[in-house]
Structure 1
Amino acid sequence: MRPKATLLTIAALSSMALLGGCSDQKSGTPTPTSAPSPTGLPSNGAPAVANPIANTARYESDPCATIPTADIESIGGQVERSEQENMTMGKACAWIFSKGANTVSAGLVAGNKDGLSSLYAQNATGGLTTFKPVEPVAGYPAVVYANGGEGPGTCTLAIGVRDDLVYTIIPRLGSDHPSYSDPCGLAAKVGAAGIKNLKGA
């Protein structure tokens, strides 16, 4: 056991709580690519998910099954162990790398029923310190965000897999990790692996 790695994992997973949505969301003006569905999503200018992934229940309850450990190792290096983390907004899997205090966590944030729209709403009200829509991951819209805690080796990437559901990836890397200077690049690769398996469910 390495206490430092465990603390990094807990800190990373706490970022997922930001996706709980806002109590005072304001309706945005929809664009042609973000027309609201009958549920009112997407909203606040968030992009629509063109090919929503419906069958996610298994991976919501068993996040470590979403990506085989071998796939994580091909992206980030040898994994010492993985462990499930139970959070208020959903379950996540933390993969702890063998070398140094390096982790990557990922999970479907099932408790957030507004998907990416919740982040767009929080950004509109000044609730985030980082908000950056990025290139789609495996064809799915994505945002890098934070509410404090930014720093080298860290990134929080949310990918919209449905208008009402996001898959969030959070690497926490030390300077000894090859992806230390590009944690969001590693997050995108992990996200693409997750999307591939979610679509095959």
Structure 2
Amino acid sequence: MPSRHAALLGLAAAAVLLSSCSTESGKAAPATAPPSTSTGPRFGAPPVPAPLDASPLEKNPCAAMSPDQVASLGAPFKNNDPKPDDYTGPSCNWEFATSPASSVGGTLATKDPGHGGISGIYSKKQSGGVTKFEPFTVNNYPGVIYDPASNSPAGLCTMVVGLRDDLGYVIDVSLDGLKNPFADSCEVGKKVAGYVVQYLQKGGR
């Protein structure tokens, strides 16, 4: 989905400042999920309260949400499109049975060695590289709704939630211009973030 890839490129660009100091290898944490070996959050980003083992999403990126959970976001579930080898990390695109088409994309940002979790977006804010910056929390995990552009399409919302201090999960919600039958694209994204965190808190079950 073009809008998801554009959002992910924005996150990658936001993290350029981190590339020289990140120790993230691009691999998921071991199953025991020990504390991150990175230097922690930067640029004023809040810390992740308890690092999550994200390896279940590497193996099956679409397992983060069940069809019933997708339908609970506001419209019937149509299908999903798993991309475990996507260029920025394992991803899934969940499509709704709506016309015009609406969808939600989620990516575990493991393949950008400088992504630095949500710190990349905080660094982008400091440099004036975002036109929208709205911190939020879901299940006590920090996230940020952000937009690097000033003319994004109606119904588009992009956010990142921290799974570890050095690892983020990027969510891109693309609804039709009228957002029917949804209430708000960013609220949909927050619900997705909650499902992802819950899934990993349960050990990928």
Normalised by the length of structure 1, the TM-score is: 0.81
* C-alpha distance in structure 2 between counterparts of 1:122 and 1:74, whole Å: 33
Normalised by the length of structure 2, the TM-score is: 0.79
Q: Show the counterpart of 1:107.
A: 107
Q: Show the counterpart of 1:139.
A: 140
8 Å contact from structure 1 (residues 17, 88) kept in 2: no
8 Å contact from structure 1 (residues 102, 177) kept in 2: no
Deviations 1:141-199 (A, max 9, x none): 010012125232111111111101111211111115222x5111111111111111111
Q: Show the counterpart of 1:4.
A: none
Q: Show the counterpart of 1:65.
A: 63
Coordinate RMSD, CA, aligned: 2.1
Shift of 1:38: 6.2
Q: Using the aligned pairs only, state the percent identity.
A: 28
* C-alpha distance in structure 1 between counterparts of 2:90 and 2:5, whole Å: 9
* C-alpha distance in structure 2 between counterparts of 1:158 and 1:176, whole Å: 21
Deviations 1:53-110 (A, max 9, x none): 1x21120242101111221112232111110245322121111111111111112111
Q: Show the counterpart of 2:181.
A: 178
Q: Superposed, which structure 2 residues align to 1:89-100 within 5 Å?
A: 89-100=88-99
8 Å contact from structure 1 (residues 13, 92) kept in 2: no
Question: When the two structures are aligned, how many residues end up with a matched partner?
Answer: 180
- Mind listing any 5+ residue stretches in structure 2 that lack a counterpart? 19-35
Q: Show the counterpart of 1:6.
A: none
1:68 is aligned with what amino acid? S
8 Å contact from structure 2 (residues 96, 102) kept in 1: yes
